[in-house]
Amino acid sequence: MRSEFLSFSPPCLSEQEITAVTEVLREGAWLSSGPRTKLFEENFKKTVGAPSALALNSATAGLHLGMLVHGVGPGDEVLTTPLTFCATANVVEHVGGTVTMADIDPETLLINPAEIEKKLTPKTKVISPVHYAGHPCDMKTINALAEANGSFVVEDAAHCMPSKIGGDWVGASDNLTSFSFYATKNMTTGEGGMLTGKTEWVDRARVLALHGMSRAAWNRFAKGASWKYDVPAPGYKYNMTDIAAAMGLVQLSRLDELFERRMTIVELYKKELGASPYLQILKTLPGYQTSWHLFLIQLNLETLKITRDEFIEQLQAANIGCSVHYKPIHLMSYYAEKYGWTPESFPNATRAYERMISIPLSSKMTPQDAADVVEAIQTICKKNAR
């Protein structure tokens, strides 16, 4: 057993990020959204091939702005997946919309397009697919369903960097697409996000992201610039700082390196755990590149004498950090009470939740760290086998 606790998903930082951040602080010229934030937007846009990009303080902000840009309000439905972080649904509530959901595919845990088709109504203003664990959804089918129904698509790409559909990056389409750079993400700015999509829509989001002001502060305060600005709409405080952007620029430049290191751990897990009779790993589909933000195992509880929660307790006792992604939306008290949802409302999501564990995965991990995780899982399985 490990002598030291293995954290679930620590960030992989280098001296480059530290230097980049301290340079911003030492210069002292601009700490909030400024030239580095603008450069981060441009570099991210070029990397994913996006029409336009807007740096924000979170992916949640991007999703909220997506709802606002597309005019979601009372009487409008937003169709999403039950297996996601609460933010995906919360932003719909914030704008007064109605959350509707389509169940997941039991093998990929992605929203099932066949279930989307069943749930579409004339009130469906937006479809919001979640690229769960970094595996892209079937966007060709989802986009076609949205177009036929007269709906917009706002993609939750919080887990995506670097994820691709064929040769195209997630974020390359006109759809408003929201990325996360939270501390546990594959590339991080501590807190932060990026919204990509059609230039007209991103420009609208840009105004809303900074109080609804027509001009950003760093442009107004530059030498020779005019202080004058307008507020064409009441907006929010969603901008990214140059401090965060400085870290983001380095992380983006290291993306290939970080992904290669991550894939070393993923391949070891797949080799050692993929054929276990006690669990199953997520199915990945051909033609897609998943970022492998999460490495998820689902326990075959029929083969074990313990529950998922007891399995987690034993992993933690073996100094292995882990988590659960996620408790489904329909099991959260607010949503269950408001919409009358029960565990049976979305049976695939409920079943997956009862069996899932996210095991440690980070570009900072070593092969020995991964071997320790595998050993702990295999030991627990054998000890508790039926």
DSSP state of 82: S
Least Cα distance to 144 among 163, 179, 120 occurs for 120
Q: Which residues pair with 166 in a beta bridge?
A: none
CB 67 within 8 A of CB 125: no
Helix (H, G, I), strand (E, B) or coil at 271: helix
Residue 185 is among the residues annotated as catalytic for this protein: yes
Name the phi and psi angles at 156, rounded to 5. Answer: -90, 100
- 193 membership: H or E segment, kind and range: strand 193-196
Position 18: which residue type?
I
Sign of the C-alpha dihedral, residues 44, 50, 56, 62?
negative
Give the residue ranges of DSSP H helices in the chain. 15-27, 35-48, 59-69, 87-94, 113-119, 139-149, 199-208, 217-220, 242-253, 255-273, 308-317, 333-339, 347-355, 367-383
Nearest-angstrom CA–CA distance, 197 and 203: 10
Position 307: which residue type?
T
Nearest-angstrom CA–CA distance, 357 and 366: 20
Helix (H, G, I), strand (E, B) or coil at 196: strand
**Long-range CB contact pairs, 26-34, < 8 A, 24+:** 30/218, 30/242, 31/241, 31/242, 31/243, 32/217, 32/218, 32/239, 32/241, 32/242, 33/210, 33/216, 33/217, 33/218, 33/239, 33/240, 33/241, 33/242, 33/245, 34/218, 34/242
Annotated catalytic residue within 118, 185, 305, 364? 185
- 55 membership: H or E segment, kind and range: strand 53-56
Sort strands 356-359 and 288-289 into parallel, antiparallel or unpaired. Answer: unpaired
Give the pair of three-digit tokens for residue 358. Answer: 């996210």
Residues serving a catalytic function are 185
